[in-house]
Structure 1
Amino acid sequence: MINLKNPSLYNNREISWLQFNTRVLKQAQDESLPLLERLKFLAIYGTNLDEFYMIRVAGLKKLFAAGIIVSSADKLTPLEQLREIRKYLHQEQQVVEHCMNGILKKLESEGISIKLYKDVNQHQRHYLNRYFNENIYPVIIPIAVDATHPFPHLNNLSFGLIVKLQDSDNTAIERFGIIRVPRVLERFIELEYDIYVPIESLVAEHVEDLFPGYTLIKFASFRVTRNADIEIEEEEADDFLEILEEGLKLRRKGAMVRLEVGSDGDEEIVNFFNRHTNVYKDDIYKFHTFLNLSSLWQIVSNKHFAHLLTEPFKPKTLPPLDNSENIFTTLEKQDVLLYHPYESFDPIVKLIQTAAKDPDVVSIKMTLYRSGTDSPIVKALMSASESGKQVTVMVELKARFDEENNLIWAKALEKSGAHVIYGIKGFKVHAKATLITRRKNGKLKQYAHLGTGNYNPATSKIYTDMSYLTSKDEITSDMTRFFHFLTGFSKKGKLDELYMSPSQIKPKVLSLIQNEARKGANGEIIAKLNSLVDEDVIRALYKASQAGVKINLIVRGICCLKTGIEGVSENIRVISILGKYLEHSRTFYFKNDEAGVYISSADWMPRNLMRRIELLTAIKDKTAKEKTIQILRLQCADNTLAHELQSDGSYKKIKNDRVKNINSHTLLEDYANKIAKASPKESAPLVQELMANIFKEEV
């Protein structure tokens, strides 16, 4: 009998994440994509890697320092994982540099160029010098480092220059200094709209203005990364807002975990810097290109070159939400399932705005995890509260990297009179739920929204997510209990129609998998999620595969399950889809379950299943269920955007041997466009026709 706890049956979580980011990098290498689209993926790659070092690498370093030996199913120690990460990233760095240089060279032929100060003409230099004096000199920070000037504190993701200087009057005297470039300054200075000059190139030309009496010998750009994971002792948090605000300040001062230096950073310059910062040598990366890949967004967003991006798609509002009928009336007639961004998020915004203005609405309850900086939803909630409605909002202040934004919204909501909950002690509230209570014919009627993504109209245009709208009493009554659980005290926290973690979702998922396993070769599972890490779930999938169940997993990022293992996982296929949209929905199909289809806010990870408040919702409406299954089958058949997981943990782009290209993103855009153009009378049969033709025949 095979031991399903054998470490060799599991991919390492961190390496699996690095493989995901490599797939992002491959999008940047894809020469079939427009140039700025490729540059965008390079920026995403850099942003992802920053967060990985700030959180995951920093966490492994803490585990190692604490003497923890085993921390994952594959049994690699923290030190072994750190070694593997460093080896992987140092090797990939050359690929990144080659990719960037190739894109920049091709951009020059399109009229966009990045030039150093020394490479521009005299007229442009004059402009840059004036720009320095007017915009940079007043805010830049030159810092001497010697016995009387201590090495400065550098906040997380600080960027600047390390300089070596020589006394102009006594050439025997040499000194080192730091020039901090504040984040308020643009990474690149634009000459007209097509030439970008890296700010460090301009600052280096004016070092002697910043350190009068000294001559520049050499310099190198640098960027530091610190541990950014906030630890909050909730047991001691009398005022949670105050504790969190202190935590945000401490994030800027966490232990330094990575140093990036420019190509001019020779051994002497790096040694000077590292004497004061003590970054481990293998966490120092020397780049032969520009530091801070995420800053490439500045170039990507150049409106003059929008033709070098993939053509944007305008999300569509489709039947039955495309008419002037009151949305509450529509939901009383039928459930609605939306698939964003092909179907617009506007109806969700409209739902909240309508509820805020409707005199018959008595209360709005909602969870907010990441709502964005200029949220029309939060503004509608504030308006509803100010008009006398009962507004209850669970604002998750522990949403990583959105804490500050959520603090601002929480205070604004409180000021408007809303009842704001800041979280559940020991858990993050990650569920996406809204419950509206309204008077109708002298009675109270409730309407619900349950989603897989955040209440953020901006990200809803680039993230694929599911929204489920219903007025079914069995669901809305469960949601009432859910919000009572959030606002009050409950030791049970059990729902009847919905499933809530930490107590219900994992047992339900395991039960669903086991039920398919009992059906053997007649069993089928399709699961779409962001990450698959939980060992118990993976073992249940292995057992189902051993029983003959056909399993298709669409896992965008981390996948610790291994495919193609004889006697264990021959019946499991894992693909990752990367393209125009970020695959974000958690959607599940179990062939032999009575409901069959589920959506959730939770990935199959220990943190989601055991340490977060999440919701899992059965989709019982026949039309919504069929639509979901066909979308899943379409994505399983994707032969254009999909990468398939190999038995060694690597991924290969699926080779397209079919006559037909199946690009799930463009096919779903076509689906939405065709229905939007149809007349009201045609729309109902057209939906069925498109589902048959686009989803079934082409699959």
Structure 2
Amino acid sequence: MSTRPDRRTGAEPPASAGRSDRYLNRELSWLAFNDRVLAEAGNPNYPLLERLRFLAISAANLDEFMMIRAAGLVGQVQRGIARVSIDGRTPAQQLAEVRALVDDLTDRQQGAWRVLRRQLADSGIHIADEQRVTEEAYHWLRTYFVDEIIPVLTPQAIDPAHPFPFVANRGMGLLFNLTRQSDGARVIEMVLIPAALKRYVRVPGREAIYVSIEALISRFADHMFPGFTITGGGAFRVLRDSDIEIEEEAEDLVRTFRSAIQRRRRGQVIQLELEEGFDPVGEALLREQLGASAGTVVKTEGLIGLVGLEEIVREDRPDLKFDPYTPRYPERILEHDGDCFAAIREKDIVIHHPYESFEVVVDFIRQAAADPDVVAVKQTLYRAGNQSQVIAGLIAAAEAGKSVTAVVELKARFDEEQNLLWASQLERAGVQVIYGFVDLKTHAKVAMVVRREGDGYRTYCHFGTGNYHPVTARIYTDLSFFTADPQLGRDAARLFNYVTGYVEPRGTEALAISPIDLREELYSAIDGEIANAEAGRPAAIWLKCNQITDQGMIDRLYAASQAGVEVELMVRGICSLRAGVPGLSDNIRVKSIIGRFLEHSRIYAFANGAPMPSDDALVFISSADLMGRNLNRRVEALVPIRNRTVHDQVLKQVLLANLLDTEQSWMMQPDGSYRRAGEGAEGGSRNFNLHRYFMTNPSLSGRGEALERGEVPTLRLAQEPR
């Protein structure tokens, strides 16, 4: 039996530190994940515009990686930090490998773009194709440019009298080398493209012809520079360090974040992207003025800023998109005439997004606002979107005289400004707004409603695996668990007291909460499986999450494998654990599912002495991934599922469907690479698409009775996982 990590901290034994044969690098694992996303841009089973969407998603992912993860490595190298990663690489070594892989990934993105561009053209959608612009279209574009674009642009000369302009993060612009026709004087002009302008202009007409904004500016630049001859130039794009660091002794968190957001806009340039053939004089100027070293300059032979292609996906071509899908409203709520509280009182409910509508979560808050017997509403808000009905519900509850508390997390990356706005609106309505801890993010997804019933009060709770975000709830697969269980209600109150008043929730009755005891609860469950395996009883672990990077958790799973526990890991993104390594992880299998919907729910299940999947299994849902940040530096909730119907729905439908999927699954190999699961290979004896399954079968919330009536296909393992 291998030495196990410390139960409290998750630290691994010193002898195993820094071993690349034992752990996979976090940054390289993320790039491998984005490679899988990019592969979907070439998936022949997807409609063309959906493939273009995957290309844009891959580009957006890479932007964020550069702004946060690569920027962090750059900062460590600049500060001389030599601390090695989990796999033994120094920051400098990681940065060198990251840059090489990013260059390769960028080249393959451009290759995917060239293929899709041709295929879309064959289907009547022409993007950045100047040859398609007729004389009539040319005149329309010129008029549009003069009337609509020029008034928004501000050309600026670059000379001693005109300081070099600030280029915002993700900002695009063009540089022009000009020669004045009257005297031959040379001038350099910069034109920054305002973020408010669309990236692509669609030429009017039945045929879809899109011209990029940078091509439009280049084509009609003579209208901005009369009397000059354009001798060179090109388009460029800038990415900056966008991480926000907050000092623990910050006295005013709101003011500190407003200041930090301003600093982020002016972060160090991490990447300067140039069109191939960019004017050498202009390139030298940009390098100098932006502080871009040679290692941060990327010359793109193709289209810069591929993320902008998302605009093209909106083209009205249903034949080139997935068939429309409308989420179902949960039957259990409809059976009670829309009364959420009556339905939850009857028994616990689990809702499966996006197959079932997020509107039920909004209705839970709306009903609380309108119900005269509701006395208090409390809710955590991590990401709520920019058009949130949940916020409107909380405001309505406060205006109706309820006691309303909102825990608004200011440290939600890239949502800081939106969350500050929501906090201001909530406070004006009379909501008690709490910002939580300076050094911990409140990432738990919890809402509780206290209602006067009879001679006392009943607490209704919502626990989620995803954010209270109406937009992402349509494309992320998540679980919403509604319960009136008194133990969970009391624990939810303890969690809120922890965040609002720093009252540490020791001795909870059902919930495990990080950073208090969530790690300990999972360790205990894993140890239980190890004990069962050693005693000759059935032992298995099924875990579904987004990332696994915590060294202590990985070592615990290795120990389980070595004890004979069958471990099935469904990890969409980063995974630092190596699967199938002889003597280390023979009994561990890792799969990543990439498809129409983004797998986001976190589900943790343990056999508990019976063959999986069984009624005896321990099943939890959570807001937490298995990362050090979730287990040590965030407030998270681990929720036990004890209601028999919900237990079966989560284990024998959601989790099992993920395990059985073959059409959208990628299997990790012992060297850390991934390959697509084939028909009948590792995960089932037939092709199975879990997204299609849940789109075409009755909704999860009504599945208890539907299963009994035989209306839902029963998911079964065709064979033992191995």
> TM-score with structure 1 length normalisation?
0.95
Note if 1:145 corresponds to 2:165.
Answer: no
1:267–1:688 Cα change, 3 Å? farther
1:559 to 2:575 alignment: yes
Q: Distance in 1 between matches of 2:688 and 2:594?
A: 13
Instruction: Tell me the CA shift for residue 691 of structure 1.
Output: 5.4
Q: Does 2:315 align with 1:315?
A: no
Between 483-492 and 243-252, report the one with greater CA deviation: 483-492
Once the two structures are TM-superposed, the CA of residue 31 in structure 1 deviates from its matched residue by: 1.7
- 1:595: how far off? 6.2
Q: Which moved more, 1:516-525 or 1:638-647?
A: 516-525
Question: What is the aligned counterpart of 1:250 among 252, 256, 263?
Answer: 263
Q: Does 1:222 align with 2:215?
A: no
Using the alignment, how far apart are the partners of 1:336 and 1:603 within structure 2?
23
State the AA in 1 paired with 2:691.
H
- How far apart in 2 are the matches of 1:391 and 1:138? 46
Asked if 1:422 is matched to 2:435, the reply is: yes
Q: Bigger shift: 614-623 or 481-490?
A: 481-490
Corresponding residue number in structure 2 for 1:684: 705
Counterpart-to-counterpart distance in 2, 1:297 and 1:494: 48
Residue 231 of structure 2 aligns to which amino acid in structure 1?
I
Alignment of 1:663 with 2:689, yes or no, is yes
1:600 is matched with which residue? Answer: 622
Aligned to 2:286: 273
> Deviation of residue 116 (structure 1)?
4.8
Q: Distance in 2 between matches of 1:495 and 1:383?
A: 31
Quote the residue 1:642 is aligned against.
665
After alignment, is 542-551 or 343-352 more displaced? 343-352
Whether 1:189 aligns to 2:210 is: no
Q: Does residue 591 in structure 1 map to residue 607 in structure 2?
A: yes
Letter in 2 for 1:529: C
The answer to whether residue 621 in structure 2 is matched with residue 622 in structure 1 is no
Q: What displacement does 1:321 show?
A: 2.0
Superposed displacement of residue 306, structure 1: 2.3
Distance 1:687 1:109, change over 3 A: farther
- Asked if the contact 2:660–2:717 (Cα under 8 Å) also holds between the matched residues in 1, the reply is no
- Larger CA deviation: 10-19 vs 141-150: 141-150
Hey, what does 2:38 align to over in structure 1? 25
Q: CA 1:685/1:300 → structure 2, altered by over 3 Å: closer, same or farther?
A: closer
Q: What does 1:297-376 correspond to in 2, within 5 Å?
A: 297-302=310-315, 304-323=316-335, 324=337, 326-376=339-389
Inter-CA distance 493–290: structure 2 relative to 1 (3 Å threshold)? farther
Q: Which amino acid aligns with 1:206?
A: F
Compared CA separation, residues 688 and 578, structure 1 to 2 (3 A):
farther
For the residues of structure 2 that align with 1:651 and 1:688, how far apart are their CA atoms?
Answer: 40
1:544 aligns with 2:560: yes
Q: Which residue of 1 aligns with 2:247?
A: 233
Equivalent of 2:545, from 526, 529, 541? 529
* Secondary structure in 2 matching 1:350: helix
* Corresponding residue to 1:577 among 569, 577, 593: 593
Moved more, 593-602 or 57-66: 593-602
- My pick for the range that moved more, 607-616 or 648-657, is 648-657
| 1:62 shift after superposition | 1.0
Deviations 1:644-682 (A, max 9, x none): 111111110111137732011101112237x89xxx9x9
CA distance in 1, matches of 2:28, 2:449: 43
Which has the larger displacement, 426-435 or 416-425? Answer: 416-425
Deviates more, 1:334-343 or 1:385-394: 334-343
More off after superposition, 601-610 vs 369-378: 369-378
Q: Which amino acid aligns with 1:526?
A: W
**TM-superposed deviation, 1:288:** 2.0
Which AA in structure 2 matches 1:152?
P
SS at match of 2:356: coil
Deviations 1:216-263 (A, max 9, x none): 11221100000111122241333x222211221221100000011112
Using the alignment, how far apart are the partners of 1:307 and 1:228 within structure 2? 38
Residues 230 and 247 in structure 1, CA contact (< 8 A), matched pair in contact too:
yes
Give the root-mean-square deviation of aligned CA atoms. 2.0
SS of the residue corresponding to residue 141 of structure 2 reads: helix
Task: Name the structure 2 match of 1:500.
Answer: 513
Amino acid across the alignment from 2:571: V
* Distance in structure 2 (CA, Å) of the matches to 1:40 and 1:359: 46
Amino acid at match of 2:319: H
Work out whether residues 501 and 614 of structure 1, in 8 Å CA contact, stay in contact via their aligned partners in 2.
yes
Aligned to 1:396: 409
| Alpha-carbon distance in structure 1 between the residues aligned to 2:561 and 2:686 | 30
Deviation at 1:317, TM superposition (A): 2.4
Distance (whole Å) between structure 2 residues aligned to residue 62 and residue 495 of structure 1: 40
1:209 aligns with 2:223: yes
Distance change in 2, residues 1:546/1:645 (3 Å): same
* Residue pairs, 1:71-220, within 5 angstroms: 71-117=84-130, 119-171=132-184, 173-192=185-204, 194-220=208-234
**687-696 or 218-227: which moved more?**
687-696
The one-letter code of the counterpart of 1:571 is N
Contact 1:319/1:683 (CA < 8 Å) preserved in 2? no
Q: Distance in 1 between matches of 2:494 and 2:516?
A: 15
1: CA distance between counterparts of 2:246 and 2:381?
A: 20
Show CA shifts across 1:159-186 (max 9, x none).
Answer: 0112222221233x43322110101111
Which residue in the other structure is 1:693 paired with? Answer: 714
Tell me, in whole angstroms, the C-alpha distance in 1 between the residues paired with 2:600 and 2:60: 17
Amino acid at match of 2:658: Q
Please give the per-residue CA displacement for 1:614-643, whole angstroms capped at 9, x wherever unaligned. Answer: 000000111111111122122112111000
Task: State whether residues 680 and 687 of structure 2, in contact with CA within 8 Å, keep that contact through their aligned partners in structure 1.
Answer: no
AA aligned to 2:569 is L
Once residues 381 and 614 of structure 1 are traced to their aligned partners in structure 2, the CA distance between those partners, rounded to angstroms, is 22
* 8 Å Cα contact 1:204/1:219 also seen in 2: no
Give the deviation of 1:490 after TM superposition.
2.1
Which of 467, 487, 494 aligns to 1:454? It is 467
For residues 418 and 563 of structure 1, do their structure 2 counterparts lie closer, same or farther at Cα, with a shift above 3 Å needed? Answer: same
Residue 525 of structure 1: how far off its partner (Å) = 0.2
Question: Deviations for 1:305-331, whole angstroms, at most 9, x for unmatched residues?
Answer: 122111122111233223215221221
Letter in 2 for 1:635: N
Q: SS at 2:195's partner residue?
A: coil
Structure 1 gaps, min length 5: none
Following the alignment from structure 2 to structure 1, what is the Cα–Cα distance between the partners of residues 706 and 48? Answer: 40
Deviation at 1:88, TM superposition (A): 0.6
Q: Is 1:672 matched up with 2:698?
A: yes
Could you say what secondary structure the match of 1:665 adopts? Answer: helix
Equivalent position to 2:631, from 609, 628, 638: 609
Equivalent pairs counted in the alignment come to 691
Q: 1:513 aligns with which of 526, 533, 541?
A: 526
SS of 1:215's partner is strand
Which letter does structure 2 place at the counterpart of 1:663? N
Q: Distance in 2 between matches of 1:280 and 1:119?
A: 38
Change (3 A) 1:647 1:254: same
Secondary structure in structure 2 of the residue aligned to 1:236 = coil
Alpha-carbon spacing, 1:117–1:174, altered in 2? closer, same or farther (3 Å): farther
